[in-house]
Amino acid sequence: MPKQINFFKGHPTLDLLPKKALSEAFAKVISETAHTDYESDPENRHPLQYGTDLGNLTARESVARWVNKQFGRTSLHPDQINLTGGSSYGSQNILLATTNTETTLQAFVVLPTYFLINYAFIDAGFENKMTAVRETPGGEFDIDIEFLEKKLTELDDKHGLKPVGDKEINIFPDPTGRGVRKQYRYVMYLVPTFSNPGGLTYTDATRSKLIELARKHDLLLLSDDVYDHLNYEGKPPVRKLSQIDEDTLPEGWKFGNTVSNSSFSKIIAPGLRVGWQETATPTLALQLSGTGANKSGGTPGQLNSVVVQHFIEDGTLDETIEHYKKTYKSRAVTLKKALDEALPAKYSKYYGGDGGYFVWVEIEAPDVDIAEVLSKLQKEHNVVIAAGGNFEVEGDSLGWNKVGARLCVALLEEEEIKEGIEKWGQVLKQAHPQLY
């Protein structure tokens, strides 16, 4: 059996990771941080101690300055940031903090979706309460806004609920004394920049329309913003949903309708397990920081978050990101060229390849099942490509298994990419010569 070529795994080649810089940063943070610096500071803790609920103020200040610079803004305040244990932890924490089975009627998930997010929603009580909303590349909006609005209106009518007026709703006292807490009527998951797996970046118009619907229907927009800083062309990122929410927040609103769930996994190293959440207001960030595990042990990545602070302040983070972008861009160019040469042009199209990790491929032709072709490709050549069925919404499948596939540019070297796609083309042509 030949060496495996795996396009499924969504993490960087090990050699790309900043191992030396991380080793030096950990050593510096652990050995050179004086305990006396923290003895009388209520907003910061020593990196080897339990952290504060939101995370060290100094770390949040560094993150806020860095994000503001990246987006050409000045408004993000450290009190709008909650430090987390990465975006996967962050998604679970958001659902735990802002939804419940009595108040929250339905979850909406943009399709094709990040396949592992299904677990977080099922664990939060949304089994049989998840609706897929298609991405619609080339349309007026990047997702099916008309469908989403129709479903939200139908659910409101079914439960006898009125649209939200001038004031936020579903704000309840907390029995443990943590203050009032907002529970949302609906929740929606999306990856709006270099989407996983769809490869799209949603326009500002799409994002603004989502905010409009979210306010009207009491919908929380949970966006995984983990690829925003991996634009291969060096263009400034599109405004986050949380930034649009902040920029247009109605007078008197204390929570908003968005959480930007971000991570350093894609821009430093996956094993670091540090992320951050941005909200339109400090009130919602504080609510996210007050879940049970955080109240017990403080922010989940205390030591690692201080290492990230060091990375930001000495410029290593920006250098690391530039290295990733340069490498991924070259690999993406190789991948797209290989796809053009190997796949039948009449029946194939792909999205992405200008940022992030993924390229999404669709091959639609009569009597062709892409999942069967990819299964044969793996058995005969040990080339692993994820079929579209992996990226369905649990309980609301829309048939992506036969036509879709996701490819990652982060893990494989260029020669492996060329070889793997060439083998795919060979197997496809052997199985369906009529496509060529």
DSSP reduced 3-state for 299 = coil
Q: Taking the CB of residue 296, how many other CB atoms lie within 10 A of it?
A: 9
Residue 43 binned pLDDT confidence (cut-offs 50, 70, 90):
very high
Mean pLDDT to the nearest integer, 326-340: 98
* Start-to-end CA span in the chain (Å): 28
- Give pLDDT tens digits for 358-412: 999 999 999 999 999 999 999 999 999 999 999 999 999 888 999 999 999 999 9
What is the DSSP code string of 84-149?
ES-HHHHHHHHHHHH--TTT--EEEEEES--TTHHHHHHHTT-TT-EEEEEB-TTSSSSB-HHHHH
For tokens 């619907």, what's the residue?
A: 213
Q: How far apart are alpha carbons 54 and 289 in whole angstroms?
A: 5
Residue 53 pLDDT greater than 90, yes or no = yes
The CA-based dihedral angle spanning residues 333, 334, 337, 338, taken in that order and rounded to the nearest 10 degrees: -150
Question: Angle at which helices 204-217 and 145-158 pack, to 10 degrees?
Answer: 0
Q: How far apart are alpha carbons 229 and 236 in whole angstroms?
A: 8
The answer to whether the CB of 320 falls within 8 A of the CB of 22 is no
**Kind plus residue range of the DSSP H or E element containing 10:** none
**Kind plus residue range of the DSSP H or E element containing 259:** strand 258-263
Give the strand pairing for 348-352 and 358-363.
Answer: antiparallel
Domain with CATH 3.40.640.10 in the chain: 40-314
Residue 236: the pLDDT is 85
Structure tokens at 375: 């299964």
Residues ≥6 apart with Cβ < 8 Å to 19: none
Mean pLDDT to the nearest integer, 105-111: 98
Residues ≥6 apart with Cβ < 8 Å to 347: 363, 364, 365, 368, 435
Considering the entire predicted model, what is its pTM?
A: 0.96
Residue 139 pLDDT greater than 90, yes or no = yes
Domain with CATH 3.90.1150.10 in the chain: 5-15+318-435
Fold of the domain built from segment(s) 5-15+318-435: Aspartate Aminotransferase, domain 1 (3.90.1150)
Phi, psi of 307 (to 5 degrees): -65, -40
For tokens 């201080």, what's the residue?
A: 306
Angular region, 297: left φ>0, alpha ψ -120 to 50, beta rest: alpha
CA angle 100, 104, 107 (to 5 degrees): 110
Q: Taking the CB of residue 103, how many other CB atoms lie within 10 A of it?
A: 16
Residue 38 binned pLDDT confidence (cut-offs 50, 70, 90):
confident
CA angle 248, 254, 257 (to 5 degrees): 60
- Give pLDDT tens digits for 275-326: 999 999 999 999 999 999 998 999 999 999 999 999 999 999 999 999 999 9
Residue 123 pLDDT greater than 90, yes or no = yes
Share of residues in the chain with pLDDT > 70 (%): 100
DSSP state, residue 362: E
The answer to whether the CB of 119 falls within 8 A of the CB of 92 is no
Q: Which residues pair with 199 in a beta bridge?
A: none
Beta strand segments in 151-244, E: 171-172, 181-182, 186-190, 219-224
CA angle 2, 433, 421 (to 5 degrees): 35
Residue type, 336: K
Correct CATH for 40-314 of 3.40.640.10, 3.40.50.720, 1.10.1060.10, 3.40.50.2020: 3.40.640.10
